[in-house]
Amino acid sequence: MEISERFLQTALDGIHDCINIVNRDFQIVFMNDAASKWTGKSRQMLLGSKCYAELWKESSPCESCVTGKVFSTGEPQQSVVWEVRPGGKKVCIEKFSFPVVDKEGRVEYAVEIFRDITGRKLLEEEREQHRLELGKRIREIRHAYEELKSLQNQLLQAEKMASVGLMASSIAHELDTPLATISGYCELLAEDIQDEKLLGQIKTISDQIVKCQKTIRNLLDFSRKSDCERKLCDIHYLIRNTLSLVEHRIKIHKINLQETFDDRIPPVLVDGNQIQQVILNLVNNAVDALPQGGNISIETRMNPESGALEIIFEDNGIGISDEDKKHIFTPFFTTKEPGKGTGLGLSICNNIISAHKGKIAMESRLGNGTRFIISLPV
């Protein structure tokens, strides 16, 4: 028996894991060299002592003790726990415990094996952190790719819109000449015809031609490249001139347009074409926000505190969510369906008003309409 114990002791002393055997009272009956070094005491001093007192510096069996579960269940147990060593060092311990039974099958002893896996655990946590970080980077790359794809589509749409604008300008030029010819012939016919009924019909044709010519010339003025020259302009003339471009669209959408203009407002030093572009963008946005019809109001007034001219565009349409309001002036951001907006309109408006040393602000609530306020120095 002595040879067997010496043989067992020598064999287990060569193992780097801490190994000890305890009885049902948690008294140490065997311990290898690694376990005794763990406690900092000699093996002879530890035999017969309580394992929880010597190994873990506890006054009673450990709360996470796997050995106690071995004695109660008769089944091998395993756990991984963080322990604080003397000196305050925190270590991660992997514990195993399995039963040694007597002839009657009763658990007589428990073999405890534990090892410090702090290094491995920290490495696993570092790898997990790297995996999470890599996942985050992949998601960011995917998001950037989707944004790039969306930006590409928006740029293509913007290019299409620019082509449409160029084509509209070309068509307007082409239509202006025949309309002028038709108008001239109407005047000649009016001189030769005495029939009042026919004269009335010719006058109706002539009036409609004048209206078409006015719309075409407004379109040409608007589409003409701005030379960025500012001059004193009547803001009400610019607004009414721009509204004539969308008058038909407002009517077919069954929208009621209300104008409240302060006639005391003096001329303002602006680039008329650019200001018309801002007005057209805001009116078109208001129309888009009223798919079932509704009300749009345009008001001009002087702000008594700042002395600035204010132009207020207000609709009772679908409104804008709080989340979207944060990005509303961001280039290429749009709340419209794909193909129905480039996301450039409000960004361009903001740049134009800023270049005029003015400000553009927005107030909106989802489902309760939108209000844009433009402030321009007089």
Tens digits of per-residue pLDDT, 34-67?
A: 888 888 888 888 888 888 888 878 888 887 788 8
Q: Give the single-character DSSP code of 306.
A: T
Q: Which residues contact 73 (CB under 8 A, 6 or more apart)?
A: none
**Could you give the CA distance from residue 29 to residue 44 in angstroms, rounded to a whole number?**
10
Dihedral over Cα of 194, 198, 200, 202: its sign: negative
pLDDT at 153: 73
CA distance to 58, 66, 79, 93, 104, per residue, from 69 (Å): 17, 5, 11, 17, 19
Q: What band does 257 get if pLDDT is binned at 50, 70 and 90?
A: very high
Half-sphere exposure (CA, 13 Å, Cβ side) for 171? 9
- Indicate whether 270 pLDDT > 90: yes
pLDDT of residue 343: 57
Chain center to CA of 37:
57
CA distance linking residue 377 with residue 217, whole number of Å: 28
Lowest mean pLDDT across 86-100, 101-115, 331-345: 331-345
Instruction: Give per-residue pLDDT as tens, 60-72.
Output: 888 778 888 888 8
Residue 149 banded pLDDT, cuts 50, 70, 90: confident
